[in-house]
């Protein structure tokens, strides 16, 4: 018994002697790991924070990403406006064709019709005369908001009193949609240009796209399907149909001295393209 007791005491003594050494080893190992962590890049950032250069680099990267995002957003917005303009032009074209099917005529004022018949010519709304006459007839409006009579006063040009088109209403005359002046404007705030075949030769002559300087591609063949029956050098490029509708597009410009496929005409939205 005494021998066994001495053995146990001896083992306990060994354990007691070894315990401080083991604890010290663990403590030193922990310090070593902490030192390694503090020497790593993440550890230095955590212990020291960002340097001025690092902050400037981060700010520059954020600025570049923000500018790239804004460019993408702007392009998406512009594409959405183009799609909206195409939709509105298509709807307006269909409304005019429906009116023509119902009445055998185009939605123009009696004055414009008499002028075109006398000159045996077509007519373009958007240069000198805005498209409010056309809209008043298609929407069966007898008066402007000011009280002045429209081309459809007493339903002179829309005897069926039919609404041929739904258009968004605008609060001001420079906003997209149908303004208080009854002018129908594109998503960029410019009036839609509308040309009619009023000499009834089944070809439509537009005030801008008739120019050879705009539409001539090769000889009598023009851009976007237009054709010149009298020769490529003359300003007589026409669309084979009764109606031409177009918008200036995102740049809000058009130039009769520039080709249809270059700026500022390149981005125009056309019903016949």
pLDDT digits (tens, 9 = 90+) for 90-117: 999 999 999 999 999 999 999 999 999 9
Give dist(CA 23, CA 46) in Å, integer: 28
What pLDDT shows up at residue 118?
94
- Show the tokens assigned to 42: 């993440």
- Mean of per-residue pLDDT scores for the chain: 87
Identify which has the larger pLDDT, 13 or 68: 68
**What is the domain partition of the chain in residue ranges?**
64-270
What pLDDT shows up at residue 66?
86
Q: Over 60: is that where the pLDDT of 52 sits?
A: yes
Q: How many of the other CB atoms lie within 10 Å of CB of 34?
A: 11
pLDDT band for 16, please (50, 70, 90 cuts): very low
Contacts of residue 178, defined as CB under 8 A and 6 or more positions apart, other chains included, come to 135, 139, 167, 168, 169, 170, 184, 185
The single residue listed with the structure tokens 């009036």 is 191
**What's the distance, CA 124 to chain centroid?**
26
Give dist(CA 128, CA 103) in Å, integer: 26
User: In whole angstroms, how far apart are CA 204 and each of 1, 4, 183, 235?
Assistant: 126, 122, 22, 13
pTM for this prediction: 0.76
pLDDT band for 175, please (50, 70, 90 cuts): very high
């Amino acid at each position: 018994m005494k021998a066994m007791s001495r053995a146990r005491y001896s083992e306990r003594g060994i354990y007691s002697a070894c315990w401080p050494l083991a604890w010290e080893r663990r403590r030193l190992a922990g310090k070593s790991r902490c030192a390694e962590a503090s020497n790593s890049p993440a550890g230095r950032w955590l212990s020291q924070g960002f340097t001025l250069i690092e902050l400037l680099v981060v700010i520059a990267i954020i600025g570049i990403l923000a500018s790239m995002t804004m460019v993408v957003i702007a392009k998406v917005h512009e594409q959405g406006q183009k799609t909206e303009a195409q939709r509105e032009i298509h709807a307006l074209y269909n409304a005019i064709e429906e009116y023509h099917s119902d009445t055998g005529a185009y939605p123009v004022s009696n004055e414009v019709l008499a002028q075109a018949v006398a000159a045996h010519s077509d007519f373009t709304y958007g240069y000198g005369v805005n498209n409010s006459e056309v809209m008043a007839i298609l929407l069966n409006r007898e008066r402007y908001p000011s009280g002045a009579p429209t081309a459809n006063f007493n339903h002179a040009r829309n005897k069926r009193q039919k609404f041929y088109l739904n258009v968004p209403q605008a609060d001001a005359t420079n906003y997209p949609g149908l303004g208080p002046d009854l002018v129908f404007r594109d998503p960029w705030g410019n009036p839609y240009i509308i040309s009619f075949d009023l000499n009834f030769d089944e070809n439509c002559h537009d005030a801008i796209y008739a120019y050879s300087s705009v539409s001539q591609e090769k000889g009598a063949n023009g851009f976007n399907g237009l054709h010149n029956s009298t020769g490529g050098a003359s300003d007589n490029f026409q669309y084979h149909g009764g109606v031409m509708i177009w918008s200036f597009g995102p740049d809000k410009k058009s130039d009769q001295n520039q080709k249809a496929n270059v700026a500022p005409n390149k981005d125009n939205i056309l019903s016949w393209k």
